[in-house]
């Protein structure tokens, strides 16, 4: 199974934008948009490509160069550059050379539009109408603390409005030619260069009506005169070639569909050139001014300027935008089923085309073009994005927007999750009828419908009843009246998410408040800086949309982890519990779909160096290694090389344990379930050579037998080293090599390893110890005990291993790494643990098994000097969670954080840990007084002044890692032979159980070890 596109894959894309043809049609200047993820910004630079074939070349090196416009003589390209301030108009010699600035306005300039004679450039520019000349900054600072007086609904406290300016190119002299408490739209020069046409809501009540009529003003300045009907909502404006009319993309009123109108400046009714069809994007003249190009629902169409029948321009792509015309050629940005967009030069008469660029990478799930016939015979053009491998009916998102809107990754993410995305133009007539058709086809589930679009569009649909289970509003359509939704905002009851720029969200706030007051689920997310979202905001926007529609329109789907939430919780709890650095990883396996994988990091890897923790940082996973070793053993069982219940000596005839009878009886199952009875905490360092594990096993004859095999349970590191030696014997190499060959490589892991020189190639954590954490002086355990605890890895790669145990042994690409029976055996009950002893009630093969309120979970923790790791796997939820830390005191962090994760994502919480009873229990501790000892620890049960006490003394190599090898605790009775002690380092109660074997030997179970009584 190949990895599908996720929302995060949005960032690397390179997309051409805004092509501009040279007057002779020989070259195209265009903007190439890429993403600088480190700086969290889009990068736009100007490029040029010949229309007759040739390689594109970069023209500028700025990071925000946009809006190229050729001079009428083709000698220069005007463009916008934002450099250390707001965007200004710059000029670039077409023959080559460095660009030079033309304007230096306080608040910047808008897109340049050349006059027909090439001597002037018109543009809109933001103006602080209340500022004194040349003192805008001071005026804004002064007003920041002044009272705000509001008369209009579209009030802006900063007093800034966009107005028309004209700059004289030879001299650089610039003048403003409009003024007023309104915004001027993009200007269009009359063919004789004497006037400028633009759209503006100049009426005193425009904030209430939403009307944006067309105006004309003399290029030298003066009072703008309204042209055409007063109730239009106009957007793009252009002149006919003879200057006798204006071509206007406009709606007849707020919320209505846009049309292409021919408006006579001298008066008279406008003519609808598209005869009831739709129109979008600026109109562009072709055929020597006799026809006009426009975009209708993603299609390029043309119509005679004097009226006639519109006809589509044949193109092989699904969506075209930004048409540029010159020299008898037309260049567009064309999207195809598998491309986000390339520049294409085409013949509008025949559709013959030549692809000029190849910047983008293909995307999966090709868009399917569909044409639906509405009940009145109207053709509704749409596109579908879906994964055909998912059976229907599926949840659907109806996405209504004005043309391309940078959501390819969003759509593919939804498709990978089993959704159908239906893309329709925002002005599509009968937008619900295509949905009805998909329902009738069995492709869409009628109970799981969601809608996304601009404010007026979404409001219109959600106000018609409760058809939609979820809605997402991402801003009002440009040019639409902000007052439109206000009048009927209380008609809908659809759970609605608002994603909006904070600077222009006054209507959205009121709509959100109205839904909230009625008890409708709603959320308002405001992004700083208006609609110009940086890449991180776009990614956040898309993630929130996916989360919202899945929560409300696909409630059967398991909840998805929210990276921001868990990043905050990890940081807060790590600080609370003094953990220097940690990484949390959460994996949700979705059969037939794309897995959810979330990784978040906090803190530093080493307090001495301050190197930040990142999600790809390496940590030691300690005894979680034992589950990997168990998996290696089960691989060999799958291959018929090993019998779990046959004596190990059959594979290792040279094996000699302290008890000859145990040597004959001990099996691999004993080793993997900690029931062999071999004294467990033996950390003999036998060097770094490839024979170190064999040498360690050769010395096990010197290690005491803790208890007879199978007689009780006691955590046993040495048993897993012996299991690792079995792996070596059967594979003919080292345990490390077998690990790499049988697990690491098949799983595609790149950072996981066993040796410190491998860890040095990555960002590696250093262990810390103490209540005031300090780095420990050692890296980790000896190589000789590798099979018991030497693996280092990242959160994502630990989860890649855990995934095997959620998929029946399959890797993400479908490769079988473990047999299904092996995975089941590892999770099955194999041995019992003493009552009340964490982390489980029973033992699988390598895994601890525990019951969380009736749900079976497998788990393992790991500890090395100064580092602790925690892995939990809940198979019935397809959920695996890992926490890697560089602290030996992170147990409280793990208990609280992992409990929250499983409660949020699986609806289950861990059972309460051991604690003293509410009422004191009387117990006789006298039979337990004395000394208990095993490798690594001596335990004494004493009589203290306040009752029985437990004293532990670390011995052997482990004692060297302890600041104080001797610890004492009060024994608090919880039942007969059962006690708890408070461990301040872990801030937790630890169970202590005394018991006797049938043969009479006494033991104390504490710290998951059974320690025999010796005196």
Residue 703 has what DSSP assignment?
S
Burial of 991 (0-12, 13-18, 19+ CB in 10 A): buried
709: Cβ contacts below 8 Å, ≥ 6 apart: 662, 665, 666, 667, 670, 675, 676, 677
Which DSSP string corresponds to 520-545? --EEEEEETTTT---HHHHHHHHHHH
Nearest one of 678, 675, 683, 624 to 936, comparing CA atoms: 683
Pairing assessment for the beta strands 619-620 and 792-793 based on DSSP bridges: antiparallel
The residues with which 114 forms a beta bridge, in sequence order, are 121
Phi and psi at 959, nearest 5°, equal -65, -30
Other C-beta atoms lying within 10 Å of the C-beta of residue 429: 17
Euclidean distance between CA atoms 184 and 111, whole angstroms = 13
What is the distance of C-alpha 618 from the center of its chain? 22
Euclidean distance between CA atoms 283 and 199, whole angstroms = 14
Euclidean distance between CA atoms 82 and 89, whole angstroms = 9
Q: What angle do CA 770, 886, 742 make, to 5 degrees?
A: 140
Q: Which long-range contacts (CB under 8 A, 24 or more apart) does 174-182 make?
A: 174/103, 174/105, 175/221, 176/125, 176/127, 176/221, 177/217, 177/218, 177/219, 177/220, 177/221, 177/222, 178/217, 178/221, 178/224, 179/127, 179/129, 181/129, 181/152, 182/206
Question: Quick check: 254 and 484 in contact, CB under 8 A?
Answer: yes
Q: What sign does the CA torsion over 753, 758, 764, 766 have?
A: positive
Question: Quick check: 177 and 164 in contact, CB under 8 A?
Answer: yes
Token pair, residue 192, equals 């004789």
| Three-state DSSP state, 347 | coil
Query: What's the Rg (C-alpha) of the chain?
Result: 36
Q: Which one from 13, 623, 784, 868 is the annotated catalytic residue?
A: 623
Interaxial angle between packed helices 625-638 and 717-731, expressed in degrees from 0 to 180 and rounded to the nearest 10? 40
| Three-state DSSP state, 590 | coil
Which DSSP string corresponds to 113-130? EE-TTSSEEEEEEEEETT
Question: Quick check: 714 and 707 in contact, CB under 8 A?
Answer: yes
Question: Quick check: 676 and 700 in contact, CB under 8 A?
Answer: no
Other C-beta atoms lying within 10 Å of the C-beta of residue 53: 9
Token pair, residue 123, equals 């543009």
The residues with which 380 forms a beta bridge, in sequence order, are 372
What are the C-alpha distances in Å from 585 to residues 615, 620, 798? 8, 15, 9
716: Cβ contacts below 8 Å, ≥ 6 apart: 671, 674, 676, 678, 679, 680, 706
Q: What sign does the CA torsion over 647, 652, 658, 659 have?
A: positive
Euclidean distance between CA atoms 249 and 258, whole angstroms = 6
Question: Quick check: 50 and 353 in contact, CB under 8 A?
Answer: no
Question: Quick check: 475 and 449 in contact, CB under 8 A?
Answer: no
Q: Is 623 a catalytic residue?
A: yes
Q: Which residues are the active-site residues? A: 623
């Amino acid at each position: 199974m190949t990895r599908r596109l996720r929302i995060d894959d949005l960032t690397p894309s390179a997309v051409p934008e805004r092509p501009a043809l040279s007057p002779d049609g020989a070259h195209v200047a265009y903007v190439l948009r890429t993403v600088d993820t480190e700086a969290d910004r889009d990068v736009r630079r100007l490029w040029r490509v010949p229309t007759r074939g040739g390689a594109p070349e970069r023209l500028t090196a700025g990071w925000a160069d946009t809006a190229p416009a050729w001079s009428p003589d083709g000698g220069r390209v005007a463009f916008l550059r934002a450099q250390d301030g707001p965007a200004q108009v710059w000029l670039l010699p077409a023959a080559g050379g460095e660009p030079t600035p033309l304007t230096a306005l306080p608040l910047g300039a808008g897109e340049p539009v050349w006059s027909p004679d090439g001597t002037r450039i018109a543009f809109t520019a933001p103006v602080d109408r209340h500022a004194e000349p040349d003192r805008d900054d001071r005026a804004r600072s002064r007003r920041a603390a002044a009272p705000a007086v509001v008369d209009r609904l579209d009030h802006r406290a900063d007093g800034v409005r966009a107005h028309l300016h004209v700059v004289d190119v030879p001299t650089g002299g610039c003048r403003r030619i409009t003024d007023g408490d309104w915004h001027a739209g993009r200007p269009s020069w009359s063919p004789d260069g004497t006037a400028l046409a633009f759209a503006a809501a100049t009426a005193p009540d425009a904030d209430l009506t939403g009307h944006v009529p067309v105006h004309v003003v003399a290029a030298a300045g003066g009072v703008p005169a309204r042209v055409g009907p007063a109730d239009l909502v106009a957007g793009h404006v252009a002149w006919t070639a003879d200057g006798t009319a204006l071509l206007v993309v406009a709606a007849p009123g707020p919320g209505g569909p846009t049309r292409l109108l021919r408006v006579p400046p001298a008066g008279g009714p406008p003519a609808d050139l598209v005869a009831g069809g739709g129109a979008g994007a600026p109109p562009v003249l072709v055929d020597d001014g006799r026809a006009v190009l426009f975009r209708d629902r993603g299609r390029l169409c043309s119509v005679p300027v004097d009226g006639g029948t519109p006809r589509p321009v044949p193109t092989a792509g699904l969506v075209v935008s930004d048409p540029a015309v010159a020299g008898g050629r037309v260049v567009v940005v064309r999207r195809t089923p598998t491309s986000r967009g390339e520049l294409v030069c085409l013949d509008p008469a025949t559709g013959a085309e030549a692809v000029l660029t190849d910047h983008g990478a293909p995307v999966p799930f090709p868009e399917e073009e569909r044409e639906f016939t509405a009940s009145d015979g109207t053709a509704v053009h749409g596109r579908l994005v879906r994964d055909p491998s998912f059976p229907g009916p599926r949840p659907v998102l109806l996405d209504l927007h004005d043309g391309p809107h940078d959501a390819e990754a969003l759509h593919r993410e939804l498709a990978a999750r089993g959704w159908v995305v239906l893309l329709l133009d925002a002005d599509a007539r009968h937008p619900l009828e295509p949905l009805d058709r998909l329902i009738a086809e069995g492709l869409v589930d009628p109970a799981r419908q969601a809608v996304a679009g601009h404010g007026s569009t979404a409001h219109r649909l959600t106000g018609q009843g409760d058809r939609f289970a979820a809605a997402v509003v991402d801003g009002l359509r440009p040019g639409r009246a902000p007052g439109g939704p206000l009048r009927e905002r209380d008609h809908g009851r659809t759970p609605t998410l608002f994603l909006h720029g904070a600077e222009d969200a006054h209507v959205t706030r009121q709509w959100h408040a109205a839904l909230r007051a009625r008890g409708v689920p709603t959320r308002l997310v405001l992004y700083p800086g208006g609609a110009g979202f940086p890449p991180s905001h776009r990614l956040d926007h898309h993630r929130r949309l996916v989360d919202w529609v899945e929560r409300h329109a696909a409630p059967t789907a398991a909840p998805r982890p929210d990276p921001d939430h868990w990043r905050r919780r990890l940081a807060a709890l790590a600080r609370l519990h003094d953990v220097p650095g940690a990484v949390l990883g959460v994996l949700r396996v979705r059969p037939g779909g794309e897995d959810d994988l979330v990784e978040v990091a906090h803190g530093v890897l080493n307090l001495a160096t301050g190197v930040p923790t990142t999600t790809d940082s390496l940590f030691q996973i300690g005894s979680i290694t034992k589950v990997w070793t168990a998996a290696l053993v089960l691989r060999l069982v799958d291959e018929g090389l090993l019998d779990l219940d046959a004596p190990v000596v059959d594979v290792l005839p040279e094996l000699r344990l302290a008890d000859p009878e145990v040597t004959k009886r001990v099996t691999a199952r004993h080793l993997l379930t900690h029931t062999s009875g071999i004294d467990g905490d033996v950390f003999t360092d036998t060097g770094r050579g490839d024979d170190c594990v064999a040498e360690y096993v050769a010395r096990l004859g010197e290690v005491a037998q803790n208890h007879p095999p199978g007689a009780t349970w006691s955590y046993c590191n040495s048993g897993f080293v012996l299991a690792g030696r079995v792996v070596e014997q059967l594979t003919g190499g080292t345990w490390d090599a077998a690990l790499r060959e049988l697990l690491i490589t098949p799983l595609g892991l790149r950072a996981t390893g066993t040796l410190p020189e491998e860890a040095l190639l990555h960002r590696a954590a250093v262990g810390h110890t103490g209540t005031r954490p300090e780095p420990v002086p050692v890296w980790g355990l000896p190589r000789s005990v590798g099979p018991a605890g030497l693996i280092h890895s990242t959160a994502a790669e630990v989860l890649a291993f855990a995934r095997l145990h959620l998929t029946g042994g399959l890797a993400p690409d479908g490769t079988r790494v473990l047999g299904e029976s092996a995975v089941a055996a590892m999770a099955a009950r194999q041995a019992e643990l003493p009552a009340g002893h964490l982390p489980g009630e029973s033992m699988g093969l390598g895994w601890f098994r525990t019951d969380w309120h009736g749900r079976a979970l497998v788990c393992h923790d790991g500890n090395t000097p100064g580092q602790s790791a925690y892995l939990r796997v809940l198979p019935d939820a397809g959920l695996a969670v890992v926490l890697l830390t560089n602290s030996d005191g992170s147990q409280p962090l793990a208990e609280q954080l992992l409990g929250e994760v499983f409660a949020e994502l699986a609806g289950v919480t861990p059972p309460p840990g051991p604690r003293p009873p509410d009422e004191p229990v009387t117990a006789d501790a006298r039979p337990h007084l004395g000394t208990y000892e095993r490798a690594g620890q001596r335990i004494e049960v004493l009589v203290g002044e306040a009752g029985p006490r437990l004293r532990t003394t670390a011995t052997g190599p482990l004692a060297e890692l302890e600041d104080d090898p001797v610890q004492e605790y009060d024994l608090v009775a919880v039942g007969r032979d059962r006690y708890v002690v408070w461990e301040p380092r872990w801030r937790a109660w630890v169970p202590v159980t005394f018991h006797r074997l049938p043969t009479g030997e006494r033991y104390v179970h504490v710290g998951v070890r059974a320690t025999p009584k010796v005196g």
